[in-house]
Structure 1
């Protein structure tokens, strides 16, 4: 495990922290690969019911460490995108556990777009989001050109990507970029409690919901309706569905196990 990624497990939640604080959690290869390993662990470990991702220090993630990107002995830009960031986004979206991303500070460049790949994205009130790529002549990567227009609309996304404006957490919430903002003093506890709540829910059903949402961006209505039919049948055959219905009829709190 790299020192640049910290993780812990409790309450059914795998917590993953970006931890390169002296560089505002900017990614280098070692850090990106270690992050991928934790996402693999989250997906493979049945005891993990939800994932919580945040940053240590003042930043969530300032994106790519540019010193590595221009280092003649370091990975070329194409490798950074194809081996670091693309696998991170794919693993986050294909992980069949709900992922809460808690943006504790600045989220810039790849850091912003990694944050937006979460299932539930929240931010501290002091946090900011910046599509910083245009400032150095690059295009948004890490799924940004896919995710951001679908969250806030084509026109707004285009402007933010080209101008590189800083977006406050409150602005991000208003435009639908993120789910919710918490005051800084309550942020850590409130954001973690979302992951803890999800871990206690019927997570098999949440996984099927995530699968349906992943397909919804490319499916037409008829295809999506057929997919909903198929996934609803799967959900109806789960232990948690039967437990949820029984608990409702018996007027008691359900005990979900994620199966």
Structure 2
């Protein structure tokens, strides 16, 4: 097994989290989830990070849970604990990070790997990538937030079709259905992902975190509740230096120079 199955690399204000078990299509072990959670904690506490990329090494993004991980899979009584103690915290961390998180899906995203991609804020995939909600193929249900994200993204009919049949769909279809932001040619993938990350890193980080929060809670609220959320978060955004810069740049007809606070 790769000695360092989770890599954390920095390029200026962009942090790149890499699932690094290419020989196993980056399938997840409990140890990887622990390391991924620790890396997300480090990013959360680092205000110099203004955009995050989550991707995989080799020809796969993530093939899901490694079924040969005996600690996770041999004792069926421990399955609930694995989900609650290892998967759920990572999903919550991805959703609550103040920085925008890009899922750079460079190949197959199956099972928990698909859920991991959907938990990110923006997913961009190579045209050759495939998405598979394949839990049913081993007699399990979608976890990692899969049963939450899918119907909200593609509607109940498609969510049930993907979940009950466990069949993969191509990246182009995933984009047409609204499962991901877009698919791009394999040859343009790295360039387009890097450009997207740099663009997000140059934007007002505080406002992005507040936008994420507003959209994430909207599905549970009435219109009146969400209007109240918007008023509260807008007041917070208006207190930031980036708002002052954005307003000044608009009035002066120049490009804003956001500093991320």
Q: Let me know the Cα RMSD of the aligned residues.
A: 1.3
Deviations 1:50-103 (A, max 9, x none): 11110001100000001114335x993222211221111000001111101110
Corresponding residue for residue 34 of structure 2:
33
Corresponding residue for residue 91 of structure 2:
89
Counterpart CA distance in 1 for 2:242 and 2:116 is: 31
- Give the 3-state SS of the residue equivalent to 1:140 in structure 2: coil
Structure 1 contact 169–181 (Cα < 8 Å) conserved: yes
Give the count of matched residue pairs.
257
Counterpart CA distance in 2 for 1:127 and 1:167 is: 9
Of residues 218, 221, 224, the one that matches 1:222 is: 224
- Give the 3-state SS of the residue equivalent to 2:144 in structure 1: coil
- Give the 3-state SS of the residue equivalent to 1:114 in structure 2: helix
Counterpart CA distance in 2 for 1:219 and 1:15 is: 33
Corresponding residue for residue 60 of structure 1:
61
- Please list, as runs of the form range in 1=range in 2, the aligned pairs for 1:170-249 lying within 5 A after superposition: 170-249=172-251
Corresponding residue for residue 71 of structure 1:
74
Corresponding residue for residue 48 of structure 1:
49
- Please list, as runs of the form range in 1=range in 2, the aligned pairs for 1:149-164 lying within 5 A after superposition: 149-164=151-166
Counterpart CA distance in 2 for 1:71 and 1:20 is: 21
Q: Which runs of 5+ in 1 are unaligned?
A: none
> Normalized against structure 2, the TM-score is what?
0.96
Corresponding residue for residue 9 of structure 1:
10
Structure 1 contact 243–256 (Cα < 8 Å) conserved: yes
Counterpart CA distance in 2 for 1:70 and 1:112 is: 19
- Give the 3-state SS of the residue equivalent to 1:17 in structure 2: strand
Counterpart CA distance in 2 for 1:178 and 1:148 is: 11
- Give the 3-state SS of the residue equivalent to 1:96 in structure 2: coil
- Give the 3-state SS of the residue equivalent to 1:209 in structure 2: helix
- Give the 3-state SS of the residue equivalent to 1:157 in structure 2: helix
Q: Which runs of 5+ in 2 are unaligned?
A: none
